[in-house]
Chain A
Amino acid sequence: MQTVKMVVTGPFSAGKTEFIRSVSEIDVVSTERKISSEAEKVKDQTTVAMDFGRITVDDSLVLYLFGTPGQRRFDFMWEILSEGMLGFIVMVDSTRPETFREARNILETFRAYAPTPYVVAANKQDFKEAWDLDDMRIALRLDAKVKLLPCVATEKETVKGVLLELLYSILEEMDKNEAK
């Protein structure tokens, strides 16, 4: 049995858990805990909020989806996450511009660690206060080559769309490397 991974990252509340839940065949295992008090908040910095979902591809291949907040303080997670990682998805809450800077920093941190393909999901596009994709692309400093995809994590079809676009990018990357 072979296993491969995709990582879903992004700021708190961007929709990572919801995204994984929409396509996972098991209940998402979430290690996230509600931050209830200041004391807990401090303590919480030493724990890692992680989600874990699974898609069985066939009888010899399983895809795992990992959700992780991706802050710099979780650098050590890379040891675990990067092994067998096909690519990653950066989730951004399109309704909260105050998180764009963090999203961009997470993206840059991940990119530095893992030179694998990635896509950016502009999540919560079902809200009317969601920013336009064009504006988000500029605010997130994504160049034209990076895929920025509309997403509603609660709707399975758009989640599938994001996963598929990432997979297409992975194929393209393989073709590029082959051509070299």
Chain B
Amino acid sequence: MALKGNLRDFSVTQLLNLINVAQKTGTLVVEGPSEQIWVSFREGKLAFARNGQEDGSLATVLYRAKKISAAQFRAIQERAANMSDKELGLLLINANYITQQDIINSLQAYFLGVVNRLFTWVEGLFHFENDMMPPDDKITVRISLENIIIEGSRRMREWEQLQDEIPSLEVAMKFTDRPGTNIRNVNLSVEEWRVVSYINPKNTIRQVAKATNKSDLEIRKVVYGLLQAGLIELVRPEGVVQPATPAGRPALPVTNKEDQKSLINRIISRIRSI
């Protein structure tokens, strides 16, 4: 049921990853130290965002994006104060003041700004309300989360958290086969593409770091971004002989397969009867 916690322990990046992969619909409510932020998603895509401290109305967003003049803004406030965002948008488009694309672009930039603000919070209680969406008269957008997640990971500075997230560089990476993900749709830097070109279950992260001339911190950051964007997963490197267990002994006493199976079956019957 609950998707609840504190950003201190479960980061915004992790939350967006969860919403993206599970294709969730609903609103993430985060209570920061002095403000509250609502971010709504439809099928795992960013649809809407609002900062409780700000006036996120369409008129204000357009004015701040310099798409309408101060005079127009004032006129709207005087004469169209009761108009919904959708009605106002339609009016402005029909009056040839702005294009539909202007509206979408301005809203997208505004929503992204609100979400990016979340990345700066180290603390904040969050909960996710399934199926709760902004009122019908609000204009929503559809932005995939992969780029937002990768961008957020680029800003990550906390070495310790990265080390926790990727404790070992001796693992390899492979592309996920999750439907609907395509690395080509993601905006990667040249450096990130270089890393991507080495992704292969045969190469450990450490080998990729060496090949691309990256420090431990740099490689972890890139890997973390790709991982949280749901594009790759970590796997045991192929072709590497598993280190024997420290005891160096096989888990089961070496007997024949049938004996081993019968042993397991005996345990199964016993546990069923407890």
B interface with A by C-beta (< 8 Å): 1-6, 8-10, 14, 17-18, 21-22, 164-165, 167-168, 171, 227, 233-234, 236, 242-243, 245-247, 249, 251-253, 257, 260-261, 263-268, 270-272, 274
Contacts and interface: CB of A to CB of B under 8 A. Distances in A.
A130 B1 CA distance: 6
Given A98-B6, A105-B167, A134-B22, A116 B274 contact: no
Given A23-B274, A82-B251, A97-B5, A139 B264 contact: no
B247 A130 contact: no
Contacts of B165: 101
A162 B263 CA distance: 18
A86 interface: yes
Q: What are the nearest 5 A-B pairs in CB distance?
A: A98-B9, A82-B245, A97-B5, A97-B10, A57-B270
Interface string A18-60: 0000010000000000000000000000000000000111100
A63 interface: yes
Interface of A: 2, 4, 23, 55-58, 61, 63, 78-80, 82-86, 95, 97-101, 105, 108-109, 111-116, 128-132, 134-135, 138-139, 141, 143, 156, 160, 163-164, 167-168, 170-171, 174, 178
A173 to B, nearest CB: 10
Contacts of B14: 139
Contact of B251 (A80, A84, A109): A84
A163 B252 CA distance: 17
B271 A79 contact: no
Nearest to A171: B264
A108 B234 CA distance: 10
Contacts of A132: 1, 3
B266 A4 contact: no
A75 B251 CA distance: 17
B164 A97 contact: no
A112 B204 CA distance: 14
Contacts of A134: 22
Q: Determine which residue in B8, B10, B252, B267 has the highest number of CB atoms from chain A within 10 A of its CB, and name it.
A: B267
B247 A86 contact: no
Contact of A105 (B8, B18, B164, B251): B164
18 contacts: A2-B263, A56-B270, A61-B267, A79-B246, A79-B247, A82-B249, A84-B249, A95-B2, A97-B9, A97-B10, A101-B164, A109-B167, A112-B168, A112-B236, A129-B1, A143-B233, A156-B274, A167-B264
Given A23-B274, A174-B261, A98 B168 contact: no
B8 A113 contact: no
Contact of A164 (B17, B233, B234, B271): B271
A174 B2 contact: no
Contact of A86 (B168, B233, B251): B251
B87 to A, nearest CB: 37
Nearest to A85: B251
Given A58-B266, A97-B9, A174-B260, A135 B3 contact: yes
Contact of B253 (A82, A84, A129): A84
A171 B274 contact: no
A86 B265 CA distance: 13
A156 B273 CA distance: 11
Contacts of A95: 2
Nearest to B170: A112
B2 A129 contact: yes
Contacts of B17: 138
